[in-house]
Amino acid sequence: MSELTPAQQLRYSAQLLLPEMDESQQLRLLYSKVLIIGLGGLGSVVASYLAGAGVGHLLLADDDRVSLSNLPRQLLYSSAGVGQLKVDAATARLQAQNPELVITPLAARLSLSDLLALLPEVNLVLDCTDNASSRLAINQACFLRQVPLISGAASGWRGQLLALQPWLGQGCYQCLYPDWQDSPSCLQSGILGPLVGMVACQQALLALKHLLQIGDVSFGRLYCFDGLHGQSSQLKLQQEPACPICAAGDS
Ligand SMILES: [Zn+2]
C-alpha cells in the first residue's frame, strides 16, 4: 500500500484535514503496530480510538471475561457479551468498526518473557492494566526492548498518565514507585466511567501523536488529574540512581 484508497480518504477525511496530517502520515498509522495490554475501562476506549484512527495492527491482551459490572465504563462490550472473553468481544467490535485493520487477540496475562518475545515487533505499548505486577513487568520489558510505553491509571476520582522512554535516562515506573504494592482496584475504591474515559482519551491522543511524531508527547512527565475537584498537576520524573530496572548498568 503506497497510497490511500478513495474509501480510506473518505474514512479518514476529518483527521486528514489537520495541518499536521497528510496521506503519508495516514499511511504511517496504517503501518503501525501497537500492543494494548488490558481491555478494561482504559483499554476498551483506547482500542476504539486507535482502531477508528486507522492504526493498522492492534494486538489486544487480556485474560479476563466481560462481566455485568464492567458495562458502565467498558464501552466495547454489551449485555449480550457478558461471559465472553474480552479479547474476543473487543476484536469482533473493532473489526466491525474498521474492517481493514489487523487485530490479534491474545487471551493471556502476558509474562515478562511473553512481553520480551512480542515487543521487538511493536512500535508502542499501551499499559491499560490494573495491577502492580503487570505494570512493573511491562515497564521492565519496554526498558529492555527500548519500546515506548504510555501508561494510564484510574481509581476513585484520580487518574494518571505517564509516557516513558526509560532507556533515555528519564526514569521509569519502578523509579516512581520503588516499593509499589498493588493499589485498590476500581471495584474496591470505586470509579465513575467518564473519569477513566478521560484518562483513556488522553492515552489514545498521546499514542497517536507519538506514532505520527507530532506535538508534545510529554515523555518522562507524570500527569495527575483529580476528577472530583477538576484539578490537574504534572511532575517531571527523575531517574532513581538505585533503580534496579533503568539504572542497572549505568556508570
Ligand atoms: Zn527506573
Domains of the chain (ranges; CATH) run 16-236 (3.40.50.720)
Q: CA–CA separation, 149 vs 125, rounded Å? A: 5
Ligand 1 centre to CA of 56 (Å) is: 31
Ligand 1 centre to CA of 154 (Å) is: 22
- Supply φ then ψ for residue 150, to 5 degrees: -120, 120
Ligand 1 centre to CA of 145 (Å) is: 14
Ligand 1 centre to CA of 173 (Å) is: 6
Give Cα 34 distance to the centre of its chain: 9
Ligand 1 centre to CA of 194 (Å) is: 31
First to last CA, the chain: 45
Q: Which three cell numbers stand for residue 85?
A: 472473553
Ligand 1 centre to CA of 242 (Å) is: 8
Q: CA–CA separation, 81 vs 13, rounded Å? A: 32
Per the listing, cell 465504563 goes with 73
Ligand 1 centre to CA of 240 (Å) is: 6
Q: CA–CA separation, 1 vs 94, rounded Å? A: 21
Ligand 1 centre to CA of 46 (Å) is: 25
Q: What letter would DSSP give residue 184?
A: P
Q: What letter would DSSP give residue 61?
A: E
- 180 and 132 in contact (C-beta within 8 Å)? yes
pLDDT at 189: 81
Ligand 1 centre to CA of 195 (Å) is: 28
Per the listing, cell 506535538 goes with 215
Q: CA–CA separation, 173 vs 154, rounded Å? A: 15
Q: CA–CA separation, 74 vs 44, rounded Å? A: 6
Ligand 1 centre to CA of 190 (Å) is: 29
pLDDT at 49: 98
pLDDT at 182: 59
Picking from 162, 199, 160, 182, the residue whose alpha carbon sits closest to that of residue 40 is 199
Picking from 112, 180, 170, the residue whose alpha carbon sits closest to that of residue 144 is 112
Q: CA–CA separation, 105 vs 58, rounded Å? A: 8
Q: CA–CA separation, 150 vs 18, rounded Å? A: 23
pLDDT along the chain (251 residues), means of 10: 93 98 98 98 98 98 97 96 98 98 98 97 97 93 98 96 94 87 64 96 98 95 96 95 82 40
How deeply is 26 buried, as exposed, middle or buried, from its count of CB atoms within 10 A (0-12, 13-18, 19+)?
buried
Mark the residues whose beta carbon lies below 5 A from ion ligand 1: 172, 174-175, 243, 245-246
pLDDT at 107: 98
- 122 and 98 in contact (C-beta within 8 Å)? no
Ligand 1 centre to CA of 98 (Å) is: 37
- Which stretches does DSSP call E strand in 53-144? 57-61, 102-106, 124-127
Ligand 1 centre to CA of 176 (Å) is: 7
- 55 and 211 in contact (C-beta within 8 Å)? yes
